[in-house]
């Protein structure tokens, strides 16, 4: 009986030590990126496109993207916001950027792939995302009318919105039902 109690105490200690090590040394705890939790951001930005999780770009990218002049020409569209709303969204994005969400594995990898002197405005231009998608044929993404481009993450990544998961295990490319379709 004493051995069982000792084993149980040891297990509890090791689990709490592992969690502590995550907090102290910055090891990621979760896969993917932090799921969206801000309804105001989601409704404002999600009105026109997939509301990207802040952990997909570093804070400096979001800060640049949310400048009033950038919003006037937001990838060819006028996305101006009332100043109060712009500041609210700016705060949300910069506080939760890839450089701030160290406890999400994919955010850490995205942030590590971007040189400090580079401020990408497109998630699809980050080295990590480019590398992850480089083997996918154009016909499955850009030429696919149901997808249209890499910027429509939620078209293929079935758990992108609900869980912030972008792994291969939850990919479903419309019009392509199995990975044999990758072979020309």
Q: Is 30 helix (H, G, I), strand (E, B) or coil?
A: strand
Mean pLDDT by 10 residues, the chain (184 residues): 67 49 60 89 89 96 97 94 96 96 92 97 95 89 87 89 87 76 52
Phi/psi of residue 87, each to 5°?
-65, -40
**Are the beta carbons of 184 and 135 closer than 8 angstroms?**
no
What is the four-CA torsion angle of 103, 107, 64, 95, rounded to 10 degrees? Answer: -20
Does the pTM surpass 0.75? The reply is yes
Read off the tokens for 107: 């955010």
For the chain, which residues make up each domain, given as ranges? 39-182
Q: Residue 19 corresponds to which tokens in the numbers above?
A: 């969690």
The DSSP-derived string for 42-105 is HHHHTTTS----GGGS-HHHHHHHTSHHHHHTBTTB-----HHHHHHHHHHHHHTSTTT-TTBH
Q: What is the pLDDT of residue 106?
A: 93
> What is residue 170's predicted lDDT score, i.e. its pLDDT?
86
Phi, psi angle pair for 183, to nearest 5°: -80, 125
- pLDDT at position 182 is 54
Taking the C-alpha atoms of residue 126 and residue 153, their distance in angstroms, rounded to an integer, is 14
Alpha carbon 171 to chain centroid distance? 15
**What whole-number distance in Å separates Cα of residue 85 and Cα of residue 93?**
12
């Amino acid at each position: 009986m004493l051995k069982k109690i000792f084993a149980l105490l040891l297990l509890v200690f090791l689990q709490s030590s592992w969690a502590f090590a995550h907090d102290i040394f910055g090891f990621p705890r979760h896969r993917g990126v932090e799921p969206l939790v801000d309804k105001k951001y989601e409704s404002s930005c999600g009105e026109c496109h997939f509301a990207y999780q802040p952990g997909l770009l570093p804070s400096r990218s979001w800060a640049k993207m949310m400048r009033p002049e950038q919003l006037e020409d937001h990838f060819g569209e006028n996305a101006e916001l009332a100043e109060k709303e712009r500041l609210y969204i700016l705060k949300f994005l910069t506080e939760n950027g890839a450089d701030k969400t160290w406890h999400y594995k994919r955010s850490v990898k995205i942030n590590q792939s971007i040189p400090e002197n580079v401020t990408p405005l497109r998630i699809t231009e980050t080295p990590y995302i480019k590398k992850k998608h480089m083997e996918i044929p154009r016909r499955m993404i850009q030429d696919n009318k149901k997808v249209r481009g890499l910027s429509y993450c939620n078209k293929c990544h079935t758990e992108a919105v609900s869980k912030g998961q972008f792994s291969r295990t939850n990919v479903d490319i419309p019009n392509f039902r199995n990975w044999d379709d990758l072979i020309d």
